[in-house]
Amino acid sequence: MKFNRRAFIGTAAATAGTLAAPTFARADGHGKPRVVVVGGGAGGATAARYIAKDSNGEIDVTLIEPTRAYYTCFFSNLYLGGFREIDSLGHSYGTLASTGINVVHDWATGVDRDAKTVTTAGGYTIPYDRLILSPGIDFVDGAVAGWDVSAQNAMPHAYKAGSQTELLKSQIEAMPAGGTYAMVAPPNPFRCPPGPYERISMVAHLLKEINPTAKILIADPKENFSKQGLFEEGWNKHYAGMIERVGPDFGGADVEVDPAAMTLSIDGDVNNVDVCNVIPAMKAGKIADIAGITEGNWAPVNAADLSSKMDENIHVLGDACAQGDMPKSGFSANSQAKVCANAVRGALTGSTVFPARFANTCWSLIDTNDGVKVGATYEATDEKIAKVDGFISETGESSDVRQATYEESVGWYDGITADMFG
Ligand code: FAD
């Protein structure tokens, strides 16, 4: 072969793959079964941890996650409100790695379902017997006229926590006296149904302290939203006259933004705004699409084990899956992960598989010690994950009940992050 530059680059790439192979050699039937988990968030970290912990070394678990520290979206609104420090939201993968999980900090970029391998941006090809995808969400292109991810510095979404959340807070803190914070709320279904409205509460709390004549404007494409009565009661009580929500009847679904001019047009009316928090329509994280297991925006799964309806060797957890009645939340993803881990372990080692039971609670903080919640339990039916029964805070509750609800949420945060990261 003539050794020109192009051939050399090709050889170098091939060598990277060859060098990588021994690290991730296939079990070939007689070795340990291999589980690869893509995404180290609420669903993926929990699934990896439970499979590794409960299989006592019988299963090789690899977790692929690009970031070295995962910042929880849960409680990121409380950071905006001044109730948490950003560092308290960050969690590393060190404990998971020290318990035998092979943590690979890389992006999964391809899935070969016939060969049962995952390829990564770093050039690895990693074989699996079962693949678990929990990549969270991406945004639907063109969902908000005038906005795409290249505008996320001017108009942040802050719907993936970390630098976006810090950016949004710094923009709110820099607003001129009496300025306007605007939010473009997303259409259903989306990550964390109460999330935008808890955010409004926390932004109002911050502005009331540092910029009390500021205004909050919400353009919302939905008629109704989660815990609406509770939020509206709280907004009237704590932030009277500060918040205006424009629903679909008044053009809330007909919006356009101009990130250069800092304007938000609602039904043709142009508003000059100082901060514009654009939360676009969502879809499953891109790797689900690449794997070819999505239908529309989400990946349909079987309720009993979260297996893909298109490939029994792939499971999809959390926000990315279409499973039925559970809201897209960290609590839900964690609950689904434990059911999936139990089923995958059973399929690969013959261990006992218990009937699938799921639970979710979503807490929201409206103001200091004013916490509310909504939750439910669920079961697996042939058709979907189906709601069994539910509960919700009531309007007019005493301040003691609201404080206890908030304190419960703090305990939940500590519990779920320990359950995810060890
Ligand atoms: P994630 O937790 O987002 O994890 C996905 C991971 O996959 C990420 O770490 C990402 O880096 C990784 N990833 C993506 N693509 C790839 C790839 N190709 N290769 C490798 N890795 C990849 N939920 C609650 O239960 N309670 C709350 O109070 C709450 N509050 C919220 C507040 C806000 C403002 C927001 C935005 C969300 C809130 N949520 C809450 C929702 C919760 O954060 C999500 O539902 C949950 O994180 C979903 O878990 P997941 O595993 O599906 O995705």
Q: What is the tens place of the pLDDT at every residue in 164-201? A: 999 999 999 999 999 999 999 999 999 999 999 999 99
Distance 16 CA to ligand 1 centre (A): 31
Cite the DSSP H helix spans in 218-329.
Answer: 228-238, 286-290
CA-wise closest residue to 337 among 321, 313, 351? 321
Please report the pLDDT score of residue 31 as a whole number: 87
Q: Report d(CA 274, CA 10) in Å as an integer.
A: 50
Residues of the chain with pLDDT under 50: 1-28, 30
Report, in angstroms and rounded to the nearest whole number, the Rg of the chain calculated over CA atoms.
23
Q: Which atom of ligand 1 is nearest to the CA of 64?
A: 20
Q: Report d(CA 283, CA 328) in Å as an integer.
A: 11
Q: Report d(CA 9, CA 16) in Å as an integer.
A: 11
For 93-118, b where at least 16 C-beta lie within 10 A, e where not — what string? Answer: beebeeeebbbbebbbbebeeeebbb
Could you identify the residue written with the tokens 């970390």? 162
For 219-242, b where at least 16 C-beta lie within 10 A, e where not — what string? Answer: bbbbeebbbeebbebbbeebbeeb
* Alpha carbons within 13 A on the beta-carbon side of 144: 35
Enumerate residues 6+ apart whose C-beta is below 8 A from 56: none
Same topology for domains 5-138+282-421 and 141-278, yes or no?
Answer: yes
Ranges of beta strands (E only) in 334-399 are 357-367, 370-380, 385-392
Which one of 86, 191, 361, 409 would you pick to mutate in the ligand 1 pocket, going by the greatest count of ligand atoms within 8 A of its CB? 191
Question: Tokens standing for 212?
Answer: 């009390």
Per DSSP, the three-state class of 153 is coil
Contact 61, 344 (CB under 8 A): no
Which one of 50, 72, 73, 165 would you pick to mutate in the ligand 1 pocket, going by the greatest count of ligand atoms within 8 A of its CB? 73
CATH number of 141-278: 3.50.50.60
Q: Locate the domains of the chain by residue range.
A: 5-138+282-421, 141-278
pLDDT in tens, 28-42: 454 899 999 999 999
Q: How many helices (H) and strands (E) does the chain have?
A: 10, 24
Contact 116, 103 (CB under 8 A): no
Distance 44 CA to ligand 1 centre (A): 9
Which residues pair with residue 389 across a beta bridge? 377
Enumerate residues 6+ apart whose C-beta is below 8 A from 399: 369, 370
- Cis peptide bond upstream of 22, omega within 30: no
Which one of 314, 329, 340 would you pick to mutate in the ligand 1 pocket, going by the greatest count of ligand atoms within 8 A of its CB? 329
Residue with the smallest CA separation from ligand 1 atom 53 is: 136
Cβ < 6 A, ligand 1 pocket: 38-44, 64-67, 70, 73-74, 76-77, 107-108, 134-136, 159, 191-192, 195, 199, 285, 287, 317-320, 328-331, 333, 362-363
Which residues pair with residue 387 across a beta bridge? 378
Distance 136 CA to ligand 1 centre (A): 5
Topology, domain 5-138+282-421: FAD/NAD(P)-binding domain (3.50.50)
Q: Which helix (H) or strand (E) holds 411?
A: helix 399-421
Distance 250 CA to ligand 1 centre (A): 32
Contact 56, 5 (CB under 8 A): no
Cite the DSSP H helix spans in 213-359.
Answer: 228-238, 286-290, 330-349
CA-wise closest residue to 216 among 263, 257, 277, 268? 277
Contact 290, 109 (CB under 8 A): yes
Contact 285, 136 (CB under 8 A): yes
Q: Which helix (H) or strand (E) holds 356?
A: none
Question: Tokens standing for 325?
Answer: 């009645």
Distance 258 CA to ligand 1 centre (A): 28
Backbone angles phi, psi at 62, to 5 degrees: -115, 130
- Other C-beta atoms lying within 10 Å of the C-beta of residue 21: 14
CA-wise closest residue to 205 among 7, 371, 338, 404? 371
Q: Report d(CA 343, CA 337) in Å as an integer.
A: 10
CA-wise closest residue to 139 among 200, 80, 85, 184? 184
Q: What angle (nearest 5°) sits at the alpha carbon of residue 126, between those of residues 120 and 132?
A: 85
Which one of 96, 106, 169, 192 would you pick to mutate in the ligand 1 pocket, going by the greatest count of ligand atoms within 8 A of its CB? 192
Enumerate residues 6+ apart whose C-beta is below 8 A from 97: 103
pLDDT in tens, 205-225: 999 999 999 999 999 999 999
Residue with the smallest CA separation from ligand 1 atom 46 is: 330
CA-wise closest residue to 331 among 211, 235, 233, 191? 191
